[in-house]
A and B are shown apart, each in its own frame.
Chain A
Amino acid sequence: MLLKIEKRPESSHSMVYVTPILALLLTVLTGIVLFKILGVDPIEALKNFFIVPINNQYGATELLVKATPLILCAIGLSVGFRANVWNIGAEGQLTLGAIFGGGVFIYFHDVDSVFLLPIMIVMGAIGGALWGAIPAFLKTRFNANEILTSLMLVYVALLLLSLLVHGSWKDPDGYNFPESRIFSDSATMPILLEGTRLHFGTILALLAALGTWFMLGKTLVGFQIKVIGAAPKAGSYAGFSQKKIVWFCLLFGGAMAGIAGVSEVAGPVGQLLPSISPGYGFTAIIVAFLGRLHPVGIIFAGLLMALTYLGGETAQINLGLPVAVTGVFQGMILFYLLACDVLVNYRFRLARFGKAAS
Chain B
Amino acid sequence: MNGFEWFIPVILTVITAATPLVFAGIGELVTEKSGVLNLGIEGMMIVGAVAAFITATLTGNYLLAVVVAALSGAFMAFLFGILTLSLMANQVATGLALTLFGIGLSALIGQDFVGEPVQAIAKLNIGGLSDLPVIGPILFGQDPLVYLSFLMVFLVSWFLFKTKAGLILRAVGDSHDAAHSIGYSVIGIRYAAVMFGGAMSGIGGAYLSLAYTPMWAENMTAGRGWIALALIVFATWKPGLVLVGAYMFGGITILQLHAQAAGLDIPSQILSMLPYLATIVVLVVISKDESRIRKHAPACIGKIFHPAA
Flag the segment in A43-51, A201-209, A319-327 that touches B: A319-327
Are B287 and A152 in touch, CB under 8 angstroms? no
- Given known contacts A151-B223, A155-B222, A324-B108, is B269 in contact with A162 (CB within 8 Å)? yes
| Bound Cα distance A282, B89 (Å) | 20
| Bound Cα distance A7, B304 (Å) | 13
Among B89, B108, B233, B288, max chain A CB count under 10 A is at B108
* Number of chain B residues whose Cβ lies closer than 8 Å to a Cβ of chain A: 48
**Residues in B61-92 with C-beta less than 8 Å from chain A:** 79, 82-83, 87-90, 92
Among B96, B227, B267, max chain A CB count under 10 A is at B96
Q: Mark B276-307, 1 if CB is under 8 A from A, else 0.
A: 11011001100110100100000000000010
Are A324 and B280 in touch, CB under 8 angstroms? no
Q: Please give, as numbers and ranges, the residues of chain A lying within 8 Å of B243 by CB-CB distance.
A: none
**Measured between C-beta atoms, what is the minimum distance from B285 to chain A in Å?**
8
Q: Please give, as numbers and ranges, the residues of chain B lying within 8 Å of A163 by CB-CB distance.
A: 267, 269-270
Which residue of B has the minimal Cβ distance to A346? B88
Q: Please give, as numbers and ranges, the residues of chain B lying within 8 Å of A283 by CB-CB distance.
A: 100
**Measured between C-beta atoms, what is the minimum distance from B283 to chain A in Å?**
4
**Measured between C-beta atoms, what is the minimum distance from B85 to chain A in Å?**
11
- Given known contacts A156-B276, A163-B269, A328-B104, is B79 in contact with A335 (CB within 8 Å)? yes
Flag the segment in A57-65, A66-74, A336-344 that touches B: A336-344
Interface of A is mostly: helix
**Measured between C-beta atoms, what is the minimum distance from A5 to chain B in Å?**
8
Q: Cβ of B157 < 8 Å from any Cβ of A?
A: no
Which residue of B has the minimal Cβ distance to A162? B269
Q: Please give, as numbers and ranges, the residues of chain A lying within 8 Å of B104 by CB-CB distance.
A: 324, 326-331
Are A328 and B229 in touch, CB under 8 angstroms? no
Q: 6 nearest interchain CB pairs?
A: A327-B104, A331-B101, A324-B107, A163-B269, A324-B108, A342-B87
- Chain B interface residues toward A at CB < 8 A: 39, 79, 82-83, 87-90, 92-94, 96-98, 100-105, 107-108, 111, 218, 222-223, 226-227, 229-230, 233, 267, 269-270, 272-273, 276-277, 279-280, 283-284, 287-288, 290, 293, 306, 309
